[in-house]
Amino acid sequence: MMIRRFLLFIICFVSSACEHQPDTKMLYETLEKKLSDTFGPEYFNISQLTRRGSAVDSAASPDEMRRIVYYDAILELNRDIELCAWNQPGASALVSLMGAGPRSIIGIKANGNQAGDKIVAHGSAIYAHIDGVWKNISPTSYATAEAPAIDSGKRKPVTERLLNTLETITNSVPYTASSTAQRVVQQELERSVTRINGRLTRLQNGYPFTGGPGKSEYLNFSQALSETAGNQQIKLIPLITNGSTENIDLLRNGEAILGLAQGDIALMAYQGKGPFEGYGPFNELRTLGSLYPELVHIVVKQGRNIKNIYDLKGKKISLGPPGSGGRSTIEQVLAAHGLHAYIDYQVVDTPFATAVQQIDNGKIDAATQVMGTPSGPLHAAMNQSNLCLLPLDKSVITKIVQNNSALLALNIAEKTYPNQMNSISTIGTAALILTTSELTMDESTSMVQVIYNAGQDLFNAGSAQGSQVSVKTSKIGITVPMHTGAIEALRKIAHTALPRAVVHRSSVH
């Protein structure tokens, strides 16, 4: 009898424990509300939702009871929608609210989704047990994979076979009697063989492609593009670098063929200004197109009497490593608000991912960065800490963009990050994919086709920013000349592209 009573007690205890966990009905209501609040009630229908279990949230404090619930969902669209726009809730917001990663959401289309399309997501949500009730507090964040060490990607010297080919061709050409004509033929043959050699070497060994620091959005994007290009038999070699300034230096030195950089930094390089003043104008710099917007982020801790950007006076602000492209942009933005480096605030050189963590313990007051949204490190930090984003002064934004054609007035759309309920007014610049005039017409055409015919692939290959790559926005924020081959390739893609879906939520600015 005692054993039966004990077993009955255990069964009741287990049943009670199961009942005291967020169930499928609660999960459905949470997801439905978030989709409606972010995109409007008329767009998404949750046609299928399967709870895949839960686990204790290891990040919770000892006095908190929190659980992470995992689920699979199929969302069916009731109306046409565009999820790749630059200045309104899109794929990044969907990633955030569903607690998923770019690779965990399938079905987002580069040219917009249409009514009837289905989007499959493997997501998660955090619930806290508060006053006897389970309450959703935030989606879990997605982690950025550790970047592997990458080969330097330097091009190999001219092969013996091509040197012999050059000699054979030169000796076989029937010269005129003019020695000047002979020199002309010789020079042209040398130039042609050099270009042929360059293309063959790149075809065999790959195109060195400068990305960014480990865990950065640039490196994520370069690795995603490398994966996508590989599916089309084009080998890209992503390189770990310090970002825009170093990327352009590597292009100038011939150690890279392609690279990512902010539009405003690319303009400085082309003109030989700012950090490139000692090098002179980089006249051979070219772009294949604009990729996605990079926005100024200023992160502070809530409750520390920093309610606007002017409250940063006298504070410790991380601008990132010296020489980084974003640092130059941030200094300009703060100066436009009357805050000058080393005079009105203390400069900290900590990288952004580390700086965000240091805000919590009071070592610094603010962390800044220019980056695409959503940023993986910031997404994770805002999920775990009481952080917020500061908007810029709208009147100052107007003055900045009037004085600098490389900068754009943009917003960080509401709910791009956990607990971010409002749109954040800021400025941004386009992330450009750069090369030089040495890239051939055919090569630039192939690259453009890989980039702008692969928006959905880039997103699913691990880049949240990949969802914003579109031929429609490929010329926004261009600050340096476009490669001739890219101009023609983009024209053909735009001509053959399907009509884009209707943009949703016209109230979003």
Q: Are residues 176 and 62 in the same domain?
A: no
Is residue 221 within a helix (H) or strand (E), and if so which, with residue range?
helix 217-230
Determine the distance from the C-alpha atom of residue 273 to the mean position of all C-alpha atoms in its chain, rounded to a whole number. 26
Q: Compute the distance between CA of residue 247 and CA of residue 239 in angstroms, rounded to an integer.
A: 9
* The last residue of a domain, from among 138, 171, 186: 138
In a domain, 425, yes or no: no
In a domain, 38, yes or no: yes
In a domain, 358, yes or no: no
Bridge partners of residue 118, in order along the sequence = 76
Q: Compute the distance between CA of residue 480 and CA of residue 434 in angstroms, rounded to an integer.
A: 9
In a domain, 192, yes or no: yes
* The last residue of a domain, from among 185, 205, 225: 205
Nearest to 336 by CA among 364, 299, 296: 296
In a domain, 333, yes or no: no
Output the CA–CA distances (angstroms, integers) from residue 62 to 48, 141, 277, 366, in the order listed.
Answer: 35, 20, 54, 28
Residues whose CB falls within 8 Å of the CB of residue 459, separated by 6 or more in sequence, listed in order: 91, 102, 105, 108, 224, 466, 467
In a domain, 95, yes or no: yes
Q: Are residues 168 and 93 in the same domain?
A: no
Q: Are residues 50 and 163 in the same domain?
A: no
CB 117 within 8 A of CB 77: yes
In a domain, 143, yes or no: no
* pLDDT (0 to 100) of residue 200: 52
Output the CA–CA distances (angstroms, integers) from residue 104 to 39, 73, 460, in the order listed.
Answer: 19, 11, 8
Nearest to 437 by CA among 283, 280, 246: 283
* pLDDT (0 to 100) of residue 454: 67
Q: Are residues 62 and 110 in the same domain?
A: yes
Q: Are residues 36 and 82 in the same domain?
A: yes
* pLDDT (0 to 100) of residue 165: 58
Question: What stretches in the chain show pLDDT beneath 70?
Answer: 1-20, 102, 138-205, 323, 454-456, 497-509
* pLDDT (0 to 100) of residue 456: 66
* pLDDT (0 to 100) of residue 146: 38
Q: Compute the distance between CA of residue 334 and CA of residue 347 in angstroms, rounded to an integer.
A: 12
Q: Are residues 171 and 69 in the same domain?
A: no
Look up the domain containing 176 and give its range: 159-205
Q: Are residues 35 and 102 in the same domain?
A: yes
Phi, psi of 222 (to 5 degrees): -65, -35
* Owner of token pair 């070592």: 363
* Owner of token pair 């709910």: 415
Q: Are residues 197 and 133 in the same domain?
A: no
* pLDDT (0 to 100) of residue 451: 93
- Rg of the chain over Cα atoms, rounded to whole angstroms, equals 26
In a domain, 384, yes or no: no
Q: Are residues 129 and 183 in the same domain?
A: no
Phi, psi of 408 (to 5 degrees): -125, 145
* The last residue of a domain, from among 205, 222, 239: 205
Q: Are residues 132 and 28 in the same domain?
A: yes
Q: Give the count of domains, the chain.
A: 2
Bridge partners of residue 425, in order along the sequence = 411
CB atoms within 10 A of CB 35: 21
Q: Are residues 163 and 133 in the same domain?
A: no
CB 260 within 8 A of CB 432: yes
CB 416 within 8 A of CB 92: yes
Q: Are residues 58 and 173 in the same domain?
A: no
